[in-house]
C-alpha cells in the first residue's frame, strides 16, 4: 500500500521540483544568523502585532496591527517578513528558491520553497521573536476607500500567533476567545478593529465588482502517510480578515512601484475565455448576464446565489473559478500598460508581495520595493523580470498539478475499498485530457472514464467508482446520470 507522502514526493520530483538542498545551499544555511538592526530601520516592536494563519503553520509571512485615527479613519500596518535580508539575490539559497519558485502543500507534508531553518525560524515572524519586516502602512477612510499608503522597513515582534479556526469561531460568536485573546482586553479591541477594517475594505471591492467565492478546500487527514479522512476547510471571518488585508497590501505595493516608475511583476487574471459557459450557468438560475464579460454583473449574480442557496454555493463557486481560468505573472513596465488586470478582484494594479517565504515572485517583488525605498538601482532588468514571471507561472501550475495528484492519491487511498459505490458529484473540468468531477461527500476528485458524453462544467451528476490507483493518483468513475439539482 502506498503512503501519501511517498506518492507526493515522487510527483514533486517528476514535476521538476528539487526538494533537497545542494551542498552550496546547505553550507550557506549553516552560517546564517538573524538579520541585524540598522539605522534605516524603524523600531515598531512596541506595537501589538499579531498573526493569523493555519494552526500548524510555522512559516509566518505577515503580522498585522490597526489603529483608530481621531477623524474616524483606520490605519492598518502589515508587516511582511524581510526574507531578502537573509536570502540575497544570487546566493545559493536564492538559486534553490528560484528553481522551485513556490512551496508545495500536499496535505500530509509541506515541501517549502526555502529550507525550514529559514521559513519556519530565521525568516518567520514567529511569536515573541524580534524580526525585520517590510511594513505596508495603509490609511483607509471611514467608508473603506484608500487615503494613503507608505512602505518602509521596521523591527517588529509578533505578540500573538493566532489560528484561523479558533479566532474565526470567536469573531463569529461560535466559540470562546483563544487564550491569548482572552488574556488581553487590548488585543480583543485590536482584533475587532481589524475585523471592522477588513469589512470596510471588502465593501469597497464589492462595489468595484470583485468576485466573492467559497470553494471547498479538501485536505488529507492521517498519520504516517496513511489517509483516514479528508477534511474540508471553509471560509470564516478570520480567513476573510487576512484575505482582505493581503489584497489591500498587494494593491498598495503595485501602486507604490508604479509611482516610483519601477518595473515590476504583476499578478493578472485575464478576461475569461469561457464567458459564454458562465452565461449558460447563470441562465439555469434564471439570470441573464451580458454577452461580454462584466465583473459587476457576475459579482451580483454570485452574491444573489450565495444568499439564496449557501449550502450549494461552493459548488457554483468552483464552476466559475474553473471557467475564469488561472492567474499568471507578467512583466509590468513603468507607465500605461495594455496588460489585463485581475478580473476576479476587479483590480488593475495587483502584485504578489505578502508571502516571500512561500512564493518566489513575492521575494523578487520585495527586492524591487527595497531598492525603490533606498533609491538604488533596480536589482533586475526587464528581461530578467519577464523570465522570472514566466518561470513562476510555470512552477505555480506544476505545484497545482502536484497538489492535485496528492489530493487524488489521498482520495484513492480513502476509497480503494469502495469500488462500485455510487456518489453525487459536480463536473469541475472538461478538456482534451478528459472530464473531471469532485464528489460532494467525501470531496474526492477524479476522472470520468466512461459515460462522460455531454457533461460540462458546473453540472451535477451521478457517478460510480470503478477504479483507484494511489501510486498514480488516479480515481476513476463511470457516469450514470445527471444528479438532482
Q: Please indicate, yes or no, whether residues 242 and 279 belong to a single structural domain of this protein.
A: no
Q: Please indicate, yes or no, whether residues 147 and 80 belong to a single structural domain of this protein.
A: yes
Rounded to 5 degrees, φ, ψ at 300 are -65, -40
Number of domains making up the chain: 3
Assigned domain for 333 exists: no
- Residue ending a domain, choose from 355, 384, 408: 408
Q: Please indicate, yes or no, whether residues 50 and 79 belong to a single structural domain of this protein.
A: yes
Assigned domain for 329 exists: no
In whole angstroms, give the CA distance from residue 180 to residue 170.
Answer: 12
3-class DSSP state for residue 156? strand
Assigned domain for 336 exists: no
Q: Please indicate, yes or no, whether residues 148 and 121 belong to a single structural domain of this protein.
A: yes
Q: Please indicate, yes or no, whether residues 404 and 421 belong to a single structural domain of this protein.
A: no
Q: Please indicate, yes or no, whether residues 355 and 233 belong to a single structural domain of this protein.
A: yes
Q: Please indicate, yes or no, whether residues 316 and 399 belong to a single structural domain of this protein.
A: no
In whole angstroms, give the CA distance from residue 34 to residue 398.
Answer: 32
Q: Please indicate, yes or no, whether residues 300 and 445 belong to a single structural domain of this protein.
A: no
In whole angstroms, give the CA distance from residue 408 to residue 406.
Answer: 5
Assigned domain for 210 exists: yes
Q: Which of 226, 459, 257 is closest to 370 using CA atoms?
A: 257
Assigned domain for 338 exists: no
> Is the C-alpha dihedral spanning 163, 168, 174, 177 positive or negative?
positive
Tell me 20's DSSP state.
S
* Per-residue pLDDT of the chain in tens (485 residues, 90 and over written 9): 457 788 888 999 999 999 999 999 999 999 988 776 666 799 999 999 999 999 989 999 999 999 999 999 999 999 999 999 999 999 999 999 999 999 998 877 889 999 999 999 999 999 999 999 999 999 999 999 999 999 999 999 999 999 999 999 999 999 999 999 999 999 999 999 999 999 999 999 999 888 888 876 767 676 665 677 777 677 899 999 999 999 999 999 999 999 999 999 999 988 888 899 999 999 999 999 999 999 999 999 999 999 998 877 887 888 898 888 889 999 999 877 656 688 888 888 899 999 999 999 999 999 999 999 999 999 999 999 999 999 999 999 999 999 888 888 888 988 989 999 999 998 988 888 899 998 988 889 899 999 999 898 888 899 999 999 988 888 999 999 765 44
Report the run of H or E that residue 275 belongs to, with start and end. helix 275-284
Assigned domain for 451 exists: yes
Q: Which three cell numbers stand for residue 305?
A: 446565489
Write down the number of H helices and E strands in the chain: 13, 17
In whole angstroms, give the CA distance from residue 31 to residue 170.
Answer: 42
In whole angstroms, give the CA distance from residue 437 to residue 446.
Answer: 6
Q: Please indicate, yes or no, whether residues 129 and 223 belong to a single structural domain of this protein.
A: yes
In whole angstroms, give the CA distance from residue 419 to residue 416.
Answer: 7
Asked if residue 442 has a cis previous peptide bond (ω within 30° of 0), the answer is: yes
| Site of grid cell 467525501 | 442
Assigned domain for 111 exists: yes
Domain that holds residue 461: 416-482
Q: Please indicate, yes or no, whether residues 245 and 105 belong to a single structural domain of this protein.
A: yes
For β-strands 328-332 and 264-268, DSSP reports them as antiparallel
Q: Please indicate, yes or no, whether residues 166 and 291 belong to a single structural domain of this protein.
A: no
- Residue ending a domain, choose from 358, 386, 408: 408
Q: Please indicate, yes or no, whether residues 156 and 280 belong to a single structural domain of this protein.
A: no
- Residue ending a domain, choose from 408, 427, 445: 408
Assigned domain for 244 exists: yes
In whole angstroms, give the CA distance from residue 137 to residue 149.
Answer: 6
Amino acid at each position: 500500500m502506498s503512503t501519501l507522502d511517498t506518492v507526493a514526493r515522487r510527483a514533486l520530483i517528476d514535476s521538476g521540483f528539487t526538494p533537497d538542498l545542494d551542498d552550496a545551499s546547505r553550507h550557506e544555511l549553516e552560517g546564517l544568523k538573524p538579520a541585524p538592526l540598522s539605522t534605516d530601520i524603524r523600531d515598531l516592536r512596541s506595537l501589538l502585532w499579531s498573526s493569523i494563519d493555519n494552526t500548524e503553520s510555522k512559516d509566518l509571512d505577515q503580522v498585522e496591527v490597526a489603529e483608530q485615527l481621531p477623524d474616524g479613519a483606520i490605519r492598518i500596518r502589515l508587516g511582511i517578513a524581510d526574507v531578502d535580508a537573509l536570502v540575497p539575490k544570487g546566493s545559493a539559497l536564492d538559486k534553490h528558491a528560484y528553481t522551485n519558485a513556490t512551496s508545495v502543500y500536499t496535505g500530509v507534508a509541506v515541501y517549502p520553497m526555502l529550507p525550514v531553518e529559514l521559513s519556519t525560524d530565521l525568516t518567520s515572524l514567529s511569536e515573541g521573536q524580534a524580526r525585520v519586516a517590510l511594513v505596508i502602512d495603509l490609511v483607509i477612510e471611514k467608508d473603506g476607500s484608500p487615503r494613503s499608503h507608505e512602505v518602509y522597513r521596521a523591527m517588529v515582534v509578533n505578540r500573538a500567533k493566532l489560528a484561523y479556526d479558533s479566532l474565526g469561531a470567536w469573531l463569529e460568536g461560535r466559540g470562546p476567545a483563544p487564550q491569548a485573546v482572552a488574556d488581553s482586553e487590548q488585543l480583543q479591541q485590536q482584533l475587532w478593529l481589524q475585523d471592522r477594517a477588513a469589512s470596510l475594505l471588502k465593501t469597497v471591492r464589492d462595489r468595484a465588482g470583485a468576485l466573492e467565492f467559497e470553494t471547498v478546500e479538501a485536505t488529507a487527514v492521517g498519520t504516517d502517510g496513511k489517509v483516514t479522512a479528508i477534511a474540508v476547510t471553509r471560509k470564516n471571518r478570520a480567513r476573510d480578515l487576512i484575505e482582505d488585508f493581503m489584497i489591500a497590501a498587494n494593491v498598495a505595493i503595485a501602486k507604490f512601484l508604479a509611482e516610483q516608475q519601477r518595473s515590476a511583476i504583476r499578478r493578472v487574471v485575464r478576461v475569461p475565455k469561457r464567458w459564454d459557459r458562465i452565461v449558460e450557468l447563470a441562465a439555469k438560475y434564471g439570470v441573464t448576464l451580458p454577452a461580454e464579460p462584466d465583473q459587476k454583473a457576475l459579482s451580483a449574480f454570485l452574491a444573489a446565489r450565495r444568499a439564496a442557496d449557501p449550502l450549494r454555493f461552493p459548488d457554483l463557486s468552483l464552476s466559475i473559478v474553473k471557467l475564469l481560468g488561472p492567474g499568471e505573472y507578467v512583466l509590468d513596465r513603468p507607465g500605461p500598460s495594455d496588460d489585463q488586470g485581475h478580473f476576479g478582484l476587479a483590480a488593475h494594479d495587483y502584485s504578489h508581495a505578502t508571502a516571500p517565504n512561500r512564493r518566489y515572485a513575492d521575494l523578487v517583488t520585495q527586492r524591487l520595493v527595497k531598492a525603490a525605498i533606498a533609491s538604488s538601482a533596480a536589482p533586475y532588468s526587464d528581461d530578467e523580470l519577464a523570465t522570472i514571471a514566466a518561470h513562476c507561472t510555470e512552477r505555480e501550475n506544476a505545484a497545482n498539478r502536484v497538489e492535485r495528484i496528492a489530493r487524488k492519491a489521498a482520495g484513492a487511498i480513502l476509497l480503494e475499498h469502495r469500488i462500485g459505490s455510487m456518489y453525487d458529484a459536480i463536473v469541475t473540468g472538461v478538456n482534451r485530457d478528459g472530464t473531471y468531477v469532485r464528489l460532494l461527500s467525501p470531496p474526492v476528485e477524479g476522472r470520468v472514464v466512461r459515460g462522460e458524453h455531454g457533461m460540462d462544467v458546473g453540472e451535477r451528476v451521478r457517478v460510480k467508482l470503478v477504479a483507484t490507483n494511489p501510486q498514480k493518483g488516479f480515481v476513476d468513475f463511470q457516469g450514470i446520470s445527471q444528479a438532482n439539482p
